[in-house]
Chains A and B, each alone.
Chain A
């Protein structure tokens, strides 16, 4: 399977614990995005990387959230001191921006986080 993969698919944790999610993008894609999605809402942008550089962070991303993309390949999203409000689906997407400006995002299956 050469699509975007995410690990784990499900995570249950207790409030106050730290969690880390991994995303492996499509290999030739230079851009990688993280989103959060709750029930009945569209994906909310969190942050994105072009190669290894983190170019944009949403105001939604509090200091408890950190993302990395070492060597411009896979990425990790860490949430420290989790809160019940962090419960959501965390989606990763990768893309390659064409010279025309079009950029199709390919989403992974997501990691569903439940904070008890």
Chain B
């Protein structure tokens, strides 16, 4: 089976740095992904970690520690437009033998002026 845990809500002010944590339990592991979803919109891909360490893409970075079954998304120089839900996702083995995506319940990020 699989489960992902992430905080339900995080608040921060413009210009600040915020970290959204994700812990996971899977019967196998095939990488950790992060997606952003604005209200009423579709999820959009942010980053992917297959190996331990930090991946940086502009203001966003994502970290993975496979030994701790833990990762985080780091958002720097926060802007109002970053207010959205952020989902971590892993792949776990389905009943048919394929690795299927499993999403966390999401973290609602609220950025204040």
- How far is B31's CA from A104's CA once the two chains are assembled, in angstroms? 11
> Which of A13-21, A35-43, A80-88 forms part of the interface with chain B?
A35-43
A56 touches B42 (CB 8 A): no
A44 touches B100 (CB 8 A): no
Binary per-residue interface labels of chain A (37-67) against chain B in the complex, 1 for a CB within 8 Å, 0 otherwise? 0001111110010000001111100000000
| Complex interface: chain A residues within 8 A of B87 (CB) | 42-43
A42 touches B103 (CB 8 A): yes
A56 touches B101 (CB 8 A): no
Interface size on A, residues (CB 8 A): 25
What is the predominant secondary structure among interface residues of chain A facing chain B?
Answer: loop
Chain A proximity of B108: nearest CB distance (Å): 9
Given contacts A56-B95, A56-B96, A110-B42, contact A45 B102 (CB under 8 A): yes
What is the predominant secondary structure among interface residues of chain B facing chain A?
Answer: loop
Within 8 Å of chain B (Cβ to Cβ): is A96? no
Residue ranges of B at the interface with A (Cβ–Cβ < 8 Å): 30-31, 33, 41-45, 48, 50, 87, 89, 94-96, 98, 100-106
Given contacts A43-B101, A56-B100, A108-B42, 12 further A-B contacts (CB under 8 A): A40-B106, A42-B103, A45-B100, A55-B98, A57-B96, A58-B100, A91-B42, A101-B50, A102-B48, A102-B50, A106-B45, A107-B43
